[in-house]
Chain A
Amino acid sequence: MSAPIATGYNFAYLDEQTKRMIRRAILKAIAIPGYQVPFASREMPMPYGWGTGGVQVTAAILGPDDILKVIDQGSDDTTNAVSIRRFFQKTAGVATTTHTSKATIIQTRHRIPEDAVKEGQTIVFQVPIPEPLRFLEPRETETRTMHALQEYGLMHVKLYEDIARHGHIATTYAYPVRVNGRYLMDPSPTPKFDNPKMDMSPALQLFGAGREKRIYAIPPYTSVVSLDFEDHPFERGAPDRPCALCGSTGVFLDEVVTDDKGARMFVCSDTDFCERALMRRTAPEEIA
């Protein structure tokens, strides 16, 4: 499955000066958890919205010995995941994997793997809109001031609106968090189910927004608190059924339509997790 290394490109596509520039932004982002660091985002050989921010962050931190996993909505085999994985196979020749535990770098769009990540691993998130206050306050000058002065009341206005309309906080993804008791952060469009995994995570979490030219980070073992009201506390929203394939419970499920008569099933969104759970169930002795 590994493609031949393409010639004529620098290791991991970006030139070294660009990678240094991005690394400086990443270091700053790690030093100020949750703060959006501007960086000179480059044109990448893929359209905006396909993870150009995440790809640049991955390119900047990738070394020859790294093992890369790329997921899109938890899946290793969707177009986006496959093409980004191929991109780095071709331009960096690094090893890739679908196993969460074997990867050193996991680039992700919209999920955090079900398996617990560990120290030494890095999760790279693809971010479309890094500014959580944008929809309520379109002026960038104003939102920056709000961050500077920790005036985050506006975010609760959004949550208030949710409860007023739906009776509960209906935000299910891109659920705002407060990082290290300081910066308000958009955890990218991951489901709120994954928010608790960000809190005190042993892995380094990096966020790249290519179109918006912003990088931010959560260093390992940093507190990440989901915003809520005292009388409407944050709820993770655990699914009420097991995976229809592997039978796992307490995992994030995708709804899959199985025919054109409306039949559907709910299966693990993390395909790697699902496959191995299935294998454990059918042939437990083969698993080391």
Chain B
Amino acid sequence: MSCEVPLLVADHVSRLYGSRIGCANVSFDLYDGEVVSVVGESGSGKSTLLSVLSGSTPATSGRIFYRMRDGNTRDLATLGEAERRLLMRTDWGFVRQDAAEGLRMGVSAGANVGERLIGAGERRYRRIRSEALDWMGRVEIDPMRIDESPQTFSGGMRQRLQIARNLVTRPRLVFMDEPTGGLDVSVQARLLDQIRSLVREFSLSVVIVTHDLAVARLLSDRMIVMRHGIAIESGLTDQVLEDPREPYTQLLVSSMLQV
């Protein structure tokens, strides 16, 4: 157990925008099957952190390591563009708050799911089709709607389609940026529940950014609280929520709705 190698390691990761801090000196390890939430208010740097971790924004300093499928841990900064993009569309997933950013709105739901399979080299139409149907079922979208454009889908359905699209290649690591943001409360509950089940079923490692502590409580094992770009507190999710130490964390927790 103790000799287990983390899947993702953030080592003093900073991202500066000129003199402004995006995020500064963030370090943490993420192991297989672990869910870490990054919480904080808008502008706290949590989305910047996610963008740096996922390689879409280069870090100003610090390093990020990832254990590839071949078992070798690599410094992400040393990956070529081709390798990074391959990682992004096979071994990683990214669920965005705005489904229109995470989906291809111009093509059908089935094609949205199929694209990642095709990207991974699948060239059998029937197989792509059946996987797409299977995944639509898993995320509780009526398979009859496989040929419809996500434009015709509700917000909750779009998010579920985005999740299906990401998980179809069986990634090991999924980044989520406010996946339930902007949804009705009842829709949120259903989506959270589905994310939770899928995370368990596929032993996914997840880094989830949210401003909603209730989301973090339901989904994450560990929690990182960010403020002004700095990780001010971290620990087991129940520990941070029940025994918050920092004034800001106490404020956040006391503002949380009790469910």
Please report A residues at the B interface, Cβ cutoff 8 Å: 135-136, 145, 148-149, 151, 153-154, 156-158, 160-161, 163-165, 229-232
Contact = CB atoms under 8 A, between A and B. Distances in A.
A160 B85 contact: no
Given A136-B106, A165-B147, A231-B125, A157 B81 contact: no
A151 B111 contact: no
A145 B85 CA distance: 10
A157 B120 CA distance: 12
Nearest to B119: A153
A99 B125 CA distance: 43
Contact of A151 (B85, B106, B107, B128): B85
B82 interface: yes
Contacts of A158: 107
A150 to B, nearest CB: 8
A234 to B, nearest CB: 12
A145 B81 contact: yes
Nearest to B81: A149
Contacts of A156: 118, 123
B110 interface: yes
B144 to A, nearest CB: 13
Interface string B72-115: 00000000011001000000000000000000101110110011
A163 B111 contact: no
A156 B114 CA distance: 9
Contacts of B81: 145, 148-149
24 contacts: A135-B106, A136-B104, A136-B107, A145-B81, A148-B81, A149-B82, A153-B115, A154-B118, A156-B118, A156-B123, A157-B115, A157-B118, A160-B125, A161-B107, A161-B111, A164-B108, A164-B110, A164-B129, A164-B146, A164-B147, A165-B147, A229-B124, A231-B125, A232-B125
A229 B108 contact: no
Contacts of B126: 231
Contacts of B104: 136, 157
B85 A149 contact: yes
B147 A160 contact: no
Contacts of B106: 135-136
Contacts of A135: 106
A230 B124 CA distance: 5
B110 to A, nearest CB: 6
A229 B85 contact: no
A157 B85 contact: no
Interface residues of B, number: 21
Interface in B15-47: none
A158 B123 CA distance: 13
A145 B88 CA distance: 15
A159 to B, nearest CB: 8
A151 B31 CA distance: 30
A164 B110 CA distance: 9
Contact of A229 (B82, B119, B125, B146): B125
A156 B146 CA distance: 17
B114 A160 contact: yes
B110 A160 contact: yes
B48 to A, nearest CB: 22
- Counting chain B CB atoms within 10 Å of each CB, the highest count among A145, A160, A161 belongs to A160
B119 A160 contact: no
A148 B80 CA distance: 12
A154 B147 CA distance: 17
A154 B115 contact: yes
A249 to B, nearest CB: 31
B74 to A, nearest CB: 18
A157 B124 contact: no
B125 A163 contact: yes
Contacts of B123: 156, 229-230
B82 A157 contact: no
Nearest to A163: B125
B215 to A, nearest CB: 31
B58 to A, nearest CB: 16
A135 B106 CA distance: 9
Nearest to B83: A149
Interface in B137-193: 146-147
A18 B126 CA distance: 51
A10 B85 CA distance: 49
B146 A160 contact: no
A163 B114 CA distance: 13
A161 B108 contact: yes
Contacts of A157: 104, 107, 111, 114-115, 118
Nearest to B80: A149
A225 to B, nearest CB: 12
Closest 3 CB pairs of A and B: A153-B119, A153-B118, A229-B125
A117 B134 CA distance: 49
Contacts of B128: 160
A151 B118 contact: no
A124 to B, nearest CB: 32
